[in-house]
Amino acid sequence: MSKLRLQGQTAIVTGGSRGIGRGIALTLAAEGADIAFCHYRDNDKAKETVSEIENLGRKCFASECDVSSVSAIKEFYQGAKAALGDFDILVNNAGHNITENFEDISEESFSRMLDVHVKGTFFMTQTVYRDMKLQGSGRIINITSQLAYKGAGTLTHYCAAKGANTTFTRALALECAGTGVLVNAVAPGVTNTDLLTPLSDELLDTLKAAIPLDRFAEVEEIAPAVAFLASPEGSFFHGSCISPNGGEVMF
């Protein structure tokens, strides 16, 4: 995809201060978009990401936001809109992950997992979608996971949340057809980010063994899928899921 395909557009990326979210924010900025992103208790990394986006010649708005709170979502969106105007692209990337045996998962842990992934995605989308519908255009891209399709032990609550977001993508795509708003998903495979740091070498070897390409993805291999769906070339994708996963799940 050639550069500056998103020139003059504005994008929101939730969880944009590090990992895949940061990669997405930087890739969209490199394609010409101004960026608003939220983060959770990550001020230092957020400042670094803002600086990198501005060094690309783009405007950037960043703010802390716990996406599990609808009031926090609305406050973030109003701040972002005041700073950058209307938005053309929304990427729901904010996430939370922890490995736990199924029988040990507490109500609190379960609720946090679904509140961040499902509630956060749902109400951030609802908030932004209203304006996109009025302007007659927009791209909504939900970051799910290959685990929504294959599942994983010790991640039952995470898989349930990602499965919900995958189905939400399809349902909203049906409801908003004809409004000019396109809704899709990207389901990355295991990716080299700091989320892998706490995992044991044994678990990492097990995860890698399940991937035919015998390696994990790099962030730079995930973010372009989002940029594609946001670009003019993605104009006939609706209710779809792109899954860069090294062959771990084959559709």
Give residue-wise pLDDT tens across range 73-96.
999 999 999 999 999 999 999 999
Over residues 148-166, the pLDDT tens digits come to: 999 998 999 999 999 999 9
Map residue 6 onto helix, strand or coil. coil
Q: What mean pLDDT, rounded, does the chain reach?
A: 96
The answer on pLDDT for 142 being more than 60 is yes
Over residues 226-250, the pLDDT tens digits come to: 999 999 999 999 999 999 999 999 9
% of the chain at pLDDT higher than 70: 99
Q: What is the pLDDT of residue 1?
A: 45
**92, β-bridge pairs:** 142
Q: How far is the C-alpha of 201 from the C-alpha of 182, rounded, in Å?
A: 40
Question: In Å, what is the CA distance from 43 to each residue of 3, 115, 131, 144, 242?
Answer: 29, 22, 28, 25, 31
Q: Are 25 and 1 in contact (CB under 8 A)?
A: no
Token pair 């929304």 is found at: 90
Amino acid occupying residue 244? P
Task: Cite the DSSP H helix spans in the chain.
Answer: 19-30, 43-55, 70-84, 107-114, 120-135, 147-150, 156-176, 201-209, 219-230
Q: Give the number of other CB atoms < 10 A from CB of residue 68.
A: 21
Q: Are 77 and 127 in contact (CB under 8 A)?
A: yes
Q: How far is the C-alpha of 109 from the C-alpha of 127, rounded, in Å?
A: 26
Mean pLDDT of 183-212: 90
The answer on pLDDT for 112 being more than 90 is yes
Confidence of residue 137 (pLDDT cuts 50, 70, 90): very high
pTM over 0.85, yes/no = yes
How many CA atoms are closer than 13 Å to the CA of 210, on its beta-carbon side?
Answer: 16
Phi, psi of 199 (to 5 degrees): -80, 145
77 is an active site residue = no
Q: How far is the C-alpha of 153 from the C-alpha of 248, rounded, in Å?
A: 16
